[in-house]
Structure formats: structure tokens, C-alpha cells
């Protein structure tokens, strides 16, 4: 038995969906522990592209329980749309479960999110406009609606009418947005509750029952470490905790239940939205990585900003998550380059630093100090064993492992399931990885 957390070690979009899907074949339970529909996972199975925002990637395995945990915020309209998409593709959803205590993204959350971002103007933070921040804000203010409230009309009225009156005044008087009709909202969301009711469970009971029965549990985070509300590049962050510690809170488990933490990182770095990005590339090289890597957001479709691998934020991710091993994705995107740069430190105000600065303004002034490595200029897309990789590609991976002081367990060389080198299965394998420094 092994209980494993999968987290993003950069700014999200690292390919966690594919790695979670890969590991789910060994998992009995997959738990999504934070975030909302602002996240997106793209999985390619038998040439079929499936895009998920809320439902855990493990849903593709019919025997796996897929639980949307209490730490997530759920847009029921989007969830039902995903369920419909999966059913159209003949995917069994009988194992899908939804925590009764997860908070619900309401229509006024989306309206407020979009209106506030527009109001920020030049100071915008790059929100997706999906209502995630306002949903978490209401949760923290003890003013939110939870999934369990959608199952009872009287309770929904009690929970909704006061906040909705306040939100309507805010929308109308501050942002000039037409108010919502309470009866329409109640009718719509009771309908969602009725359709989702067969999936609603008590989150912690499900997880702890699985743990008592010595089942393998996989905890799936959304976004990435540098978007963490407390430990990321604030204020250009998400509204929850994607770091490994967030799994304990969002799923309702103690840290002693977690056996291993695997971090997912691209062989380069990307970021979507606003905020500092020291290794960001411009011009044709940025376009080359973006086009070869298909760097467009699953949720928003926005073009991602591309840059060289940043070892400073990588080491930071190792520290704040307690990473045991790494999955390196999209190594194949670098196949055509004759040289590859890796950031090993920053120059900040004339001084060399090797740590991630907590101040966003200081981070914006950081200039990367690079180590230049030779490229391999050959295709890796068909490699299935470490021995198949060009020696220069192997040296690149070893350099990343040495820089981050964490062994590499998985190397991904494309979007499909089979385009993967599994050095060690983090769930069933021993506590060691063969590709290390």
C-alpha cells in the first residue's frame, strides 16, 4: 500500500493529468483536493483527447473511485457537462464521488470574478474569470454554499438569500452588473443538486475507510507550487493551496497518511497569465517551444509563456512539498535545440542568490544565471527505456536531478500514455528512483 500526492512543481500546466492518469492504474482511490474549474487536465487515450477540469484523471479506470474532495470548489454546471462528455465516450462514471462539504461556485461568483478583474485594469492578476477566488472568499467568510445545501430547498434558501442580496447590491452598485433573480438561482441549483445527488458522499469517511482497508490512494493537486496562495508568487497566485500540505486539508487526512510526494515538472518552464517569470523567452524560440509543446491553456485557451527550466523555483518546490521524486514531462519538445539553458541562480540587485525571494517586486527584478548544456538534436518521441535516450538527453536529465537533489522516477516524451519511461512506479516501486544525481 502507498498513499501518494502528485503536485505541480512549477506554475501549473506541467502535465499532471497524464502523470495522474498513469499512476491511477495502480491506485484504488484518486482524490482531487483543491482548486476548481480554473484547472484543466488534458489526457490522450487511444488517440482520443479528453479535457477534464473537475473530475479526477483516474476516472478512465473503471475500478477506481474518483473523489472530488472538500477542498475543491465545484461548479456543478461544468461538472455535469464533464459527466456528459465522459458518458458520450463510453467511460464508466460509477466510481465518481463528490464531497458533500465541497463549496459551490455560484453564478454571482463568476460575475464578481470577471468584474473585479476588469476593474483592476493594468493591475490585473490573470484570473480565469471562473469565480474561484470569490468562492473561496465566501468559504473563508463562512458565507458559502456547499454541495449538501443543493440537496434541500429549505437549507439552500437559508444559505443563499442573505449572501445573494449582498452580492446583487455589490454587482449592481459597484460594477454596474444586472442583479440575479433569487428564485431562478434556487431553481437552477436545486436541479443541479438533484442530478448530482447519487454521487454525493462524506469525503473523509470514504478516504479513511479506504486507508483502513489498505487501499492505494492518489491525491491529485491542481495548478502548481508557484501558484500556491501562501507560498507562491503572490498576488499572482490561485486561491487555494496546491502544495502537498494542501492534500491533508483538502482531503481531510493527517500528514502521517501520506507516504510519498511526486512533483511534476516540464523539461522547460511555462506560465500562463500575469506575474514575474525570470527565465521567460521572447521571439522565435518562445514560439518554437509553444508550438511544439502545444502550450495553450486547457481551461482558457490562453497561449502560455515559455522559458528555460528554472532550477531555483525547482529547488523551492522540493522544499515546500517535501518531494520524494520527480516526473519530467515534455522532454521531446527540446529535441530540435542545439543548446539548452538551465537557470541555476538569480542575480538580484547585483548579488547572486540561489533562493526564491518571497517579495514579488524582488522576484520581478531577478535575472537568471544560466548553465548552458548541449542539445541532442534527435527525436526522443519513440524512446521507451532510459537506454533508448540519446546520451546528451540522459545527461540533461541527470543535471536536473542533481540540481534539484531529487531523483527522477518518470520521463514523459509525448501526450499519449505509451510515450512514457517509467523508471520507478511511485506507488508500487521501492523508495528509490534509478535516474538520480
Q: List, by residue number, the catalytic residues.
A: 13, 41
Beta strands 103-104 and 73-74: pairing type? parallel
CB atoms within 10 A of CB 381: 11
What distance in Å separates the CA atoms of residue 397 and residue 408, rounded to the nearest whole number? 8
Phi, psi of 412 (to 5 degrees): -105, 135
Show Cβ contacts of residue 53 under 8 Å, excluding neighbours closer than 6 positions: 36, 37, 39, 40, 41, 78, 82, 298, 299
What distance in Å separates the CA atoms of residue 182 and residue 69, rounded to the nearest whole number? 28
Q: Which three cell numbers stand for residue 344?
A: 541555476
Scan for cell 534527435, then name that residue. Answer: 378
Q: Pseudo-torsion of CA 9, 292, 51, 64, nearest 10°?
A: -60
What distance in Å separates the CA atoms of residue 8 and residue 271, rounded to the nearest whole number? 12
CB atoms within 10 A of CB 234: 17
Q: How many residues does the chain have?
A: 437
Q: What is the DSSP letter of 294?
A: T
What distance in Å separates the CA atoms of residue 240 and residue 229, rounded to the nearest whole number? 5
What distance in Å separates the CA atoms of residue 332 and residue 352, rounded to the nearest whole number? 31
Q: How far is CA 83 from the centre of its chain?
A: 20
Amino acid at each position: 500500500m502507498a498513499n501518494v500526492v502528485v503536485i505541480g512543481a512549477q506554475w501549473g500546466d506541467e502535465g499532471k493529468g497524464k502523470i495522474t492518469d498513469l499512476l491511477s492504474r495502480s491506485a484504488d482511490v484518486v482524490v482531487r483536493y483543491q482548486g476548481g474549474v480554473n484547472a484543466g487536465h488534458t489526457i490522450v487515450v487511444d488517440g482520443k483527447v479528453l479535457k477534464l477540469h473537475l473530475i479526477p484523471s483516474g476516472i478512465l479506470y473503471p475500478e477506481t473511485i474518483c473523489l472530488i474532495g472538500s477542498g475543491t470548489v465545484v461548479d456543478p454546471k461544468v461538472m455535469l457537462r464533464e459527466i456528459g462528455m465522459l458518458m458520450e465516450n463510453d467511460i464508466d462514471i460509477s466510481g465518481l464521488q463528490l464531497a458533500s462539504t465541497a463549496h459551490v461556485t455560484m453564478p454571482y461568483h463568476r460575475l464578481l470574478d470577471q468584474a473585479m478583474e476588469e476593474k483592476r485594469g493594468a493591475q490585473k492578476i490573470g484570473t480565469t474569470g471562473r469565480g474561484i477566488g470569490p468562492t473561496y472568499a465566501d468559504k473563508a467568510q463562512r458565507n458559502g454554499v456547499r454541495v449538501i445545501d443543493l440537496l434541500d430547498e429549505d437549507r439552500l434558501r437559508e444559505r443563499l438569500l442573505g449572501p445573494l442580496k449582498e452580492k446583487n447590491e455589490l454587482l449592481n452598485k459597484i460594477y454596474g452588473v444586472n442583479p440575479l433573480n433569487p428564485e431562478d438561482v434556487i431553481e437552477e441549483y436545486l436541479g443541479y443538486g438533484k442530478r448530482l445527488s447519487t454521487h454525493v458522499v462524506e469525503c473523509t469517511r470514504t478516504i479513511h475507510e479506504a486507508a483502513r482497508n489498505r487501499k492505494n490512494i492518489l491525491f491529485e493537486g491542481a495548478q502548481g507550487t508557484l501558484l500556491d496562495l501562501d507560498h507562491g508568487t503572490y498576488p499572482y497566485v490561485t486561491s487555494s493551496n496546491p502544495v502537498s500540505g494542501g492534500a491533508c486539508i483538502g482531503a481531510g487526512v493527517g500528514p502521517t497518511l501520506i507516504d510519498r510526494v511526486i512533483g511534476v515538472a516540464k523539461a522547460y518552464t511555462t506560465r500562463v497569465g500575469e506575474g514575474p517569470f525570470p527565465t521567460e523567452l521572447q521571439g522565435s524560440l518562445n514560439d518554437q517551444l509553444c508550438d511544439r509543446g502545444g502550450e495553450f491553456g486547457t481551461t482558457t485557451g490562453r497561449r502560455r509563456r515559455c522559458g528555460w527550466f528554472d532550477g531555483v523555483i525547482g529547488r523551492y518546490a522540493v522544499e515546500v512539498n517535501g518531494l520524494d521524486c520527480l516526473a519530467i514531462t515534455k522532454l521531446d519538445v527540446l529535441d530540435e535545440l542545439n543548446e539548452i539553458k538551465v537557470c541555476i541562480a538569480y542575480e538580484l540587485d547585483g548579488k547572486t542568490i540561489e533562493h526564491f525571494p518571497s517579495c514579488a517586486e524582488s522576484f520581478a527584478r531577478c535575472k537568471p544565471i544560466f548553465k548552458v548544456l548541449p542539445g541532442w538534436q534527435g527525436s526522443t518521441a519513440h524512446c521507451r527505456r532510459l537506454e533508448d535516450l540519446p546520451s546528451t538527453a540522459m545527461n540533461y536529465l541527470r543535471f536536473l536531478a542533481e540540481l534539484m537533489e531529487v531523483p527522477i522516477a518518470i520521463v514523459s516524451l509525448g501526450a499519449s500514455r505509451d510515450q512514457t519511461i517509467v523508471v520507478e512506479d511511485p506507488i508500487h516501486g521501492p523508495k528509490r528512483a534509478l535516474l538520480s544525481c
